[in-house]
Structure 1
Amino acid sequence: MTTAPDSTRVAIVTGGSRGIGRRTAEHLAAGGYAVAIAYAGNQAEAESAVAAISEAGGRALSVRADVADEKAVEALFDAAEQAFGGVDVVVHAAGTMVLGPLADFDLDALDRMHRTNIRGTFVVNQQAARRLRPGGAVINFSTSVLGLNMPTYAAYAASKGAVEALTLILARELRGKDITVNAVAPGPTATALFLDGKDEETVARMAAQPPLERLGTPEDIAEVVAFLAGPGRWINGQVVRANGGIV
């Protein structure tokens, strides 16, 4: 890995070792970004993502970071700045999902999920607000489940409702800094997080929901993120529901 020139745009992608996060990191790198991939625990997957980007001619590094730990996130930004000269884009794709009916939901699981999804988003966005260069972008991740009100999703949807509120407010707090803040809310997308625990009938039923009659792919979402990170400068303080037309 070599240090990127000053003209190179630099992105941090949390949750970048697999799924939507990894595809987003690869997509941004293919577009000329230097990418810092933040991962929670699976070093092998993170190194695999870095290797794939490097083999394709891109620049990347991996940094282990608990997104809810302010010191770890500060160190993540430090690493990106030291390696690449600064940070322009933050894609906060890290998150966790636990499902279950509200009446029986384990409160320890609720606390763990909210620590990652709410506190983690707050901590990452706090560093982004302090350290992104002018012309930068923050892209958080919500979910299209918020508009569907599906049973067993109460705890998860509540955490992502907080992400949307934080996103819209931060966009307004950064007035005058030339930094956009948006959220992407994927619908059913063929990732390990989505497919885990679902039988074929459930997957087929959910794939049939959008008018396009298929599950989304990580590339579908990565394309939306890349647009918001770069050319989509006039989109700010919005939640983009990337779900194939589910209402």
Structure 2
Amino acid sequence: MSGKPNPRVGLFVTCLVDAIRPQIGFAAIQLLEEAGCTVEVPQAQTCCGQPAFNSGDNRDTERLARQTIAAFEGFDHVVLPSGSCAATMVHGWPDLLAGDPDWAARAKAFAAKTHEITSFLVDVMGYAPQGRRLDASATYHDSCSGLRELGIAGQPRALLSHVEGLRMRGLEGNDVCCGFGGTFCVKYSAISNGIVTEKAEAVEKTGADLLLAGDLGCLMNMAGKLHRRGAKTRCFHTIEVLAGVASGPAIGEEG
């Protein structure tokens, strides 16, 4: 639980949310405010640098890290609707800037106050959504970075348990990669396609109406494959359901 009432939170929207699915960003603001936070979205933010970092471009990643750290330094917490971006900030940035005497301590301090949103809502704020209802069945995919690097597993499920009418179904291989992996899906497209095909088959076997996850990149990848297979499963970010805004177009259905 947060020891500070009305903590000041800086929301890092992420590139994909900003460009592809802004509704997730608005859902994040709604939930954070309901939890008692004062939320701001610094305009100086751009990218966490994960694509550059995964491709070995440390110089540009360091530049983006310094810019973001400076923009968010005055906040009590930094919150993201993405486990992969959060993991880059929490683990990647301190390692990259460890040898820089001017930025090493600042990177560590930044990492210590950075959270993926479902983890922040449960572990820091002790929040539970109230008055939410969604009459549907859903299954959940645990995205790799959030699960393995940040330990996010029980938190989203705990939050979803408060949504009346939502029936959760187990997903075989819920902790297995969807095949996206950022630049992995570009470098190794055939392998990526094989992985996401297996994931789609597992999702279809659940018979669930919805597929939920905490990373938009993973959701876009799985939604695309499910759509091409003619599956009826609709994909949403977990916080869209928690904010009660999962009644409109699903991911991949926009436009």
TM band (smaller chain): 0.3 to 0.5
TM-score of the aligned structures, taking structure 2 as reference length: 0.36
TM-score of the aligned structures, taking structure 1 as reference length: 0.37
